Amino acid sequence: METPLFVGEQIHGLIPQRPPIVMVDTLYSATETEAETGLHILEDNVFVEDGRLREPGLIEHVAQSAAAFAGYGTFRQGLPPKLGFIGEIKQFRISRLPLAGEDLRTNLQILGEAAGITLLSASTVSGDELLATCRMKIFIKED
């Protein structure tokens, strides 16, 4: 059985967001260049309308997945999570909006880093079904 690195409220140690805007609940794995996160979509999720997670919720899930990935890096250095900003989102393609009750898993891969900006590719699945892909640039604010 897979043992996540961080799950549930533990994830608050990696990201600056707090309920009800927390859109990632699991960090399954993380390496220098890749991570996998998850989210169980609750009925009362603020981004759920008519039983489906809407587009802004998917985008926020990917953004917070990136934040958790970055937060895990600072956690390993014994530092608190840093504030991150989305610099750009490109090629966001959604094939289906997930239903409340589904479990999302998002794979993140770092494609490049320069001048404090990280370019990531993300793909989100539910089970074996690909739901969304995108490229995102994030800027992590240094203290």
Question: Binding to another protein by residue 55, rule CB under 8 A?
Answer: no
Question: Binding to another protein by residue 89, rule CB under 8 A?
Answer: no
| Between 123 and 126, CB nearer to another protein | 123
Pairing of strands 84-94, 26-30: unpaired
In whole angstroms, what is the distance from residue 141 CA to residue 143 CA? 6
Peptide bond before 20: cis, by omega within 30 degrees of 0?
yes
CB of 139 vs another protein, minimal distance in Å: 9
- Report whether 85 contacts 138 (CB < 8 A): yes
Nearest to 118 by CA among 39, 58, 33: 33
The site string for another protein over 120-139 (x = CB under 8 A, - otherwise) reads -----------------x--
Question: Binding to another protein by residue 118, rule CB under 8 A?
Answer: yes
Using the rule CB under 8 A, give the single segment among 41-49, 63-71, 95-103, 116-124 that binds another protein.
Answer: 116-124
Question: Binding to another protein by residue 61, rule CB under 8 A?
Answer: no
Alpha-carbon distance values, 12 to 24, 62, 123 (Å): 9, 16, 22
Give me the residues that bind another protein (CB under 8 A), please. Answer: 87-88, 111-119, 137
